[in-house]
Amino acid sequence: MLLLLSRQVSLSFVKQVIPRSPVLFSKPASLNLRTFKFKVKFSTVSANATIQNIITMPERRPFVRLPTDVYPVNYGLCLKPDLIDFTFEGKLDARIEVVQGTNQIVMNCADIDIITASFAPEGGEEISATGFNYQNEDEKVTLSFPSALQKGSGSLKIDFVGELNDKMKGFYRSKYASASGEMRYAAVTQFEATDARRAFPCWDEPAIKATFDISLIVPKDRVALSNMNVIDRKPYPEDDSLVEVKFATTPIMSTYLVAFVIGEYDFVESQSSDGIMVRVYTPVGKAEQGKFALEVATKTLPFYKDYFNVPYPLPKIDLIAIADFAAGAMENWGLVTYRETALLIDPKNSCSSSRQWVALVVGHELAHQWFGNLVTMEWWTHLWLNEGFASWIEYLCVDHCFPEYDIWTQFVSADYTRALDLDALDNSHPIEVNVGHPSEVDEIFDAISYSKGASVIRMLHNYIGDEDFRKGMNAYLLKFQHKNASTEDLWDCLEQASGKPIAAVMNSWTKQMGFPIIVVDQEQQGEDRVLKISQKKFCASGPHNGEDCPSWMVPISICSSEDPACTKMKVLLDQPETTVTVPNISPEQWVKINPGTVGFYRIQYSSAMLESLLPGVRDLTLLPVDRLGLQNDLFSLARAGMISTVEVLKLMEAFVNEPNYTVWSDLSCNLGVLSSLLSHTDYHEDIQEFIRDLFTPIGLKLGWDSKPGEGHLDALLRGLVLGKLGKAGHKPTLEEARRRFKDHVEGKQILSADLRSPVYLTVLKHGDSTTLDTMFKLHKQADMQEEKNRIERVLGAISAPDLIQRVLTFALSEEVRPQDTVSVIGGVAGSSKHGRKAAWKFVKDNWEELHNRYQGGFLISRLIKLTVDGFAVDKMAAEVKSFFESHHAPAAERTVQQCCENILLNAAWLKRDAEDIHLYFLQRKAPPV
Ligand code: BES
Ligand code: ZN
C-alpha cells in the first residue's frame, strides 16, 4: 500500500530543509534556430521600413529536451489533496527502464518539493537518492544516486508535496459556492502544455508515453474522477473522513493528457450507440444543464468512430464543467474539462450562439481523443497537427449534428479570415515552428496553429476529396496509434491514399509563413476564357515585390456564373504565374476564382473581372460564402493600401439586400474595425450613420420578436443586427431596447436569451451610472456563468470616463472569474478611443497582478492583443514596445510584436485613406446635384 506523508509535514518546513539549487544549463548558440530563420528569410519581406525598424525578434530562451537514458513505462501515482490548506501530498512509484548505466535521473519538476527518492532495480536492492538538484528555470530536477543505476528495469519511488495553486495550471484549486453560499474549492488539473510537472515529477514531453495507475485520497463526500473508470474505492485507514479511489490502468499516453478532478458535482449520463458510457458533470443542482452537451457527445462519438474507422479506446468518457478554467476546454483522455460556458446549456437562459459554441467545443475535444490522444504529436512543433485538425473537424462534426447551423460558412468568417489577417503580418510565424522552452510552447496556441492550421486542412481535404482523405486518415491513425507522429507522417499517409503530391504541396503552406495573393486577369478568346494567374506574397502592408519572393503550391479552382456552386476547373499553381484556358465561357458570363472560399489566399481581380462579379453580390447569385470572401478580400486589400477604402464602403452598400447571417457578421466585424479606426478622427459619427443606414432595412425586416418557423441563424442574425443598430445609436432601436430592458429588470417581461446581449450593449452604450449599477446588480444575481460573461463582455460599452474606470476596477474584483478579467478589460479597450487609452493605462498600472495571475500563460497574450491592437498612432507602437521591454511576458513576445505592427499599419491606413473616407461620407449626405 502506498504510504502518504502525514498532514503535519507542512510545505514551509519542507522548503527549509531542501533548498533548491539551480543548475543552469548553458545554451549552444546553434539552438536558437527560430530567431535565425525569421531574420534571414523574411527580413526583406516588409514594404514598410518603419515596421521593420521597430520590430526585432528577441532572443529565444535556452532549452534542451530531457535525456533519453532513462524512460518511464508505468507511473503508479497516488495523490492526496488538502482542500482546506491548498496543499497536496504525492507518492510516485514508477516502473522505469534504464537504457544506459547512469547515476543521475533527470525529470521535469516545477513548484514541487521532493521529500525522498529511491531506485530499486528489478530484484535488487533499493538505492536512495542523495541529492535533488532543481533547475528551476528549466523546470527540471536531477536526482543523484551514490552508485550507478545499471541498464534494465527498476522502480523509482518519489515522495513529494506541492501547493494546490490558484493559477489555473498544474494541480490547482477552483472556487465555487455551495448551495448555502459557502465558498468551497475543487482540486482540478490542467497539464497541457507543460504543467503535469507541477503535479508530480515526470518525463513531461509528449513523446515519452507511459501507462498510468492513478489513486486519489479524497474526502468521502467528494466526487473523484480521472482518465479511467474507478476500479476500487475503500476507506483510508489513517483518516475515516477520507477514501482511497483507485482508477483502472490507462493505455500508454502522454503526460499532458493526464487529469484528475476532486469536487462536488452532479451528472447526467447516457450510452453512445457504440457502447461508451458518457457522463456530463455539472455544478451541484445543475445536472439538467448538461443535457445538451450529453446529446452532442453521444452523437459525436459514433460519428468520429465512423469517420476515422477506429473505435474510441476507453470504456468511458466524462465531460466536466470547471468554474476556474483558463482555456475553453481541454481534451484529457477520458476526462475532458471545460469552462462552464463551453459545456452548460440552460434551455431558457442560454442563447443560440452558446449552443453552437458548446457543440463546436465538444466536437473539438472529442476529436482530440483520436487525433492527439491516440496518435500524439512527436513534439510541440507539430502542435498545429492537433489543434489545426481538431479545429477543422469540429466543423465537420457540427455540420453532421446540426446542418441548420450552416457552420461551414461560419468557419470562413471565424477561422479562415482571422488566420489570413494574422498571417499577413511580418511577425507571423510558420505553422510548423521550432519551439523549446515552455514559454515558446505557450506562445503557439494561437490563430496560426488553430485557424490557419484548420484552413489549410480544409484546403487539403478539398484538394484530395473526402474519400481518399478518410482513407489516408485511417491509415495514419492505425499506423501511429499509441505512438507519436509528425507532420510528415500524415502527409505520407495522405499521399499514399490519394496518389497526389501532398508533402510538396503542404510543405509550402506549413513550413513558410504567410500566403499568396493571386492576381487574375482575363481575355476572351472565341468560346474560351483565358485567365492569366500569378502569385506573390501578400503582406498587410501591401504585396511583396522583391526578388526573393516565396511561392506556394496553390490548388486553384474556378467557377462561372453558369453554375456558381460548381467547380468548372481545377489547377495546381506551382510556379509564379501561369495561363489557364477555361473552355466554353460566353463573353457575358463572369468567372470566379476560389468558389467556396476554400483556398488559403487572397485574390486581386482585374477591374473588369471585379466589375463583372459585383452584380452577383447585389442579386445574390454569388454563393453566400463567396459574397463574404469577396468582401473580406477587398477589405484587406484596402487595409494594405492596394485599393481605396472608399471602394470597399461602396461595395458594402451593395449588401443591403443580404439575407445571410454569416455574411452580415463578417461585414459587421469589418465595419467595427473601420469604426474603431475612425474613432481617431473627427468624423467617427459619420461611420455610425453609415452603419445605421446599412443595417436599418434588415433590422426592420427582422423586427424584435422571433416569428414562427424561424431557426438558429435567424436568431443569430437578429441579435447581430439589433446590437449593431443599438451601438451605432439608431434611435428606434435604442428606445425599444430601453423599454425592454426596463421590463426585464422589473421582472415584467424577461428578455429572451438571444436578445440580452444586444439590449445590454445598447442600453450601456447610451447609459449612465444608474444603468451601470443595474448591470452590476444583474451580474451579481445571475446564477449562470453564461449570463455573467454576457454582461462582463458588454460593460466596456459604457461611455463616461468615470464609469469606464469603475468597469476596469470591477474587472479585477472578486466578482469576476480570473479567466474572464481579460474579456472585461478587452471590452473596455474595444469600445471607444477613450476606453482603449483607459484600458491600456489600467493594464500598465496593474501589470504585476495581471502577469502574476496568469503566470505568463496564453491569457496574457489575449489581454495584450485586446488592449493595444486598435491603437492607430505611430508613437503608441513605440510606447507598447518599450513597456514590454521592461515588463517581460515571454509567452507574449510575438503577440507584442504583432500588435506593434498592427498599430503602425492602422496609423498608415488612417493617414492614407482618412481624407477620402471623409469626403465620401460628406458626398453621401449631400450628393452632388
Ligand atoms: N488543447 C486545447 C486546450 C489548451 C489550450 C491547452 C491552450 C493549453 C493551452 C483544447 O483542445 C482547445 O483547443 N481548446 C480551445 C477550444 C476549442 C473549441 C478551439 C480553447 O481552449 O480555446
Ligand atoms: Zn484543441
* DSSP letters spanning 332-343: -TTEEEEEGGGT
The stretch 583-592 carries a mean pLDDT of 96
| Structure-derived torsion over alpha carbons of residues 161, 165, 171, 177, reported in degrees to the nearest 10 | 120
Whether the pLDDT of residue 796 is over 90: the answer is yes
CA 256 to ligand 1 center in whole angstroms: 13
* Three cell numbers, residue 750: 424577461
Contact yes or no for 294/268 (Cβ under 8 A): yes
Q: How many CA atoms lie within 13 A of 645 on its CB side?
A: 25
Residue nearest to atom 18 of ligand 1 (CA): 361
Q: In what order do the strands lie in the sheet with 260-263?
A: 170-177, 183-190, 260-263, 223-226
pLDDT digits (tens, 9 = 90+) for 701-715: 999 999 999 999 999
Q: What is the pLDDT of residue 6?
A: 33
Which one has a higher pLDDT value, 536 or 929? 536
CA 330 to ligand 1 center in whole angstroms: 6
Ligand 1 contact via 858 beta carbon (within 6 Å): yes
Contact yes or no for 897/55 (Cβ under 8 A): yes
Q: What is the pLDDT of residue 441?
A: 94
Whether the pLDDT of residue 34 is over 90: the answer is no
Q: Count Cβ atoms below 10 Å from residue 801 Cβ, excluding itself.
A: 12
Residue nearest to atom 13 of ligand 1 (CA): 387
Q: What is the pLDDT of residue 60?
A: 62
* Three cell numbers, residue 178: 455551495
* Three cell numbers, residue 561: 456564373
Question: Which atom belonging to ligand 1 lies closest to the Cα atom of 368?
Answer: 11
Helix (H) or strand (E) holding 117: strand 112-121
CATH number of the 371-510 domain: 1.10.390.10
Classify residue 17 by burial, with Cβ atoms within 10 Å: 0-12, 13-18, 19+: exposed
pLDDT digits (tens, 9 = 90+) for 734-784: 999 999 999 999 999 999 999 999 999 999 999 999 999 999 999 999 999
For the chain, give the percent of residues with pLDDT over 90: 91
Whether the pLDDT of residue 269 is over 50: the answer is yes
Residues in CB range of 232: below 8 A, 6 or more apart:
244, 245, 246
Nearest CA-CA partner of 295 in 308, 279, 282 = 279
The stretch 327-348 carries a mean pLDDT of 98
Contact yes or no for 144/130 (Cβ under 8 A): yes
pLDDT band, very low/low/confident/very high, at 59 (cuts 50, 70, 90): low
Whether the pLDDT of residue 536 is over 70: the answer is yes
- Distance, CA of 843 to CA of 722 (rounded, Å): 31
Which one has a higher pLDDT value, 57 or 856? 856
How does DSSP assign 633-655, residue by residue? HHHHHHHTTSS-HHHHHHHHHTT
Task: Using a cut of 0.75, tell me whether the model's pTM lies above it.
Answer: yes
Contact yes or no for 557/513 (Cβ under 8 A): no
Query: Do the two domains 70-302+313-351 and 516-599+601-627 of this chain adopt the same fold?
Result: yes
Nearest CA-CA partner of 294 in 231, 353, 336 = 336
C-alpha dihedral sign at 533, 536, 538, 539: negative
CA 346 to ligand 2 center in whole angstroms: 25
Which one is catalytic: 365, 443, 495, 893? 365
Whether the pLDDT of residue 101 is over 90: the answer is yes
CA 392 to ligand 1 center in whole angstroms: 13
The stretch 79-84 carries a mean pLDDT of 98
pLDDT digits (tens, 9 = 90+) for 632-687: 999 999 999 999 999 999 999 999 999 999 999 999 999 999 999 999 999 999 99
- Distance, CA of 800 to CA of 381 (rounded, Å): 46
What's the mean pLDDT when you consider all of the chain? Answer: 93
CA 836 to ligand 1 center in whole angstroms: 27
Question: Which atom belonging to ligand 1 lies closest to the Cα atom of 364?
Answer: 18
Show the 3-state SS of 181-218: CCEEEEEEEECCCCCHHHCCCECCCCCCCEEEEEEEEE
Burial per residue of 569-598, b for 16 or more beta-carbon CB atoms within 10 angstroms, e otherwise: beeebbeeeeebebeebeeeebbbbbbbbb
Residue nearest to atom 10 of ligand 1 (CA): 330
787 has catalytic annotation: no
Question: Which atom belonging to ligand 1 lies closest to the Cα atom of 391?
Answer: 19
Q: From the CA of 328, which ligand is nearest? A: 1
In this structure, the strands spanning 230-235 and 242-247 are antiparallel
Ligand 1 contact via 862 beta carbon (within 6 Å): no
Q: Please state the separation of Cα 61 from the chain's center in Å.
A: 24
In 3-state terms, what secondary structure has residue 93? strand
Residue among 192, 356, 362, 376 whose CB has most ligand 1 atoms within 8 A, to mutate:
192
Residue nearest to atom 17 of ligand 1 (CA): 361
* Three cell numbers, residue 506: 503542404
Residue nearest to atom 20 of ligand 1 (CA): 328
pLDDT band, very low/low/confident/very high, at 44 (cuts 50, 70, 90): very low
The stretch 490-515 carries a mean pLDDT of 98
- Distance, CA of 289 to CA of 344 (rounded, Å): 5
Contact yes or no for 512/550 (Cβ under 8 A): yes
Nearest CA-CA partner of 347 in 291, 294, 282 = 291
Whether the pLDDT of residue 286 is over 60: the answer is yes
Q: What is the pLDDT of residue 15?
A: 26
In 3-state terms, what secondary structure has residue 282? strand
Nearest CA-CA partner of 265 in 342, 303, 212, 318 = 318
Its CATH architecture, for the domain 516-599+601-627, is Sandwich (2.60)
Whether the pLDDT of residue 401 is over 90: the answer is yes
pLDDT digits (tens, 9 = 90+) for 11-23: 222 222 222 222 2
CA 358 to ligand 2 center in whole angstroms: 14
CATH number of the 70-302+313-351 domain: 2.60.40.1730
CA distances from 458 to 389, 622, 727 (A): 9, 21, 35
Q: What is the pLDDT of residue 3?
A: 34
Q: How many CA atoms lie within 13 A of 218 on its CB side?
A: 22
The residue ranges of every structural domain in the chain are 70-302+313-351, 371-510, 516-599+601-627
Helix (H) or strand (E) holding 839: helix 833-845
pLDDT band, very low/low/confident/very high, at 547 (cuts 50, 70, 90): confident
Contact yes or no for 227/316 (Cβ under 8 A): no
Residues in CB range of 8: below 8 A, 6 or more apart:
none
Q: Name the residue with cell 470597399.
A: 648
Q: Name the residue with cell 431596447.
A: 737
Residue among 362, 365, 377, 394 whose CB has most ligand 1 atoms within 8 A, to mutate:
365
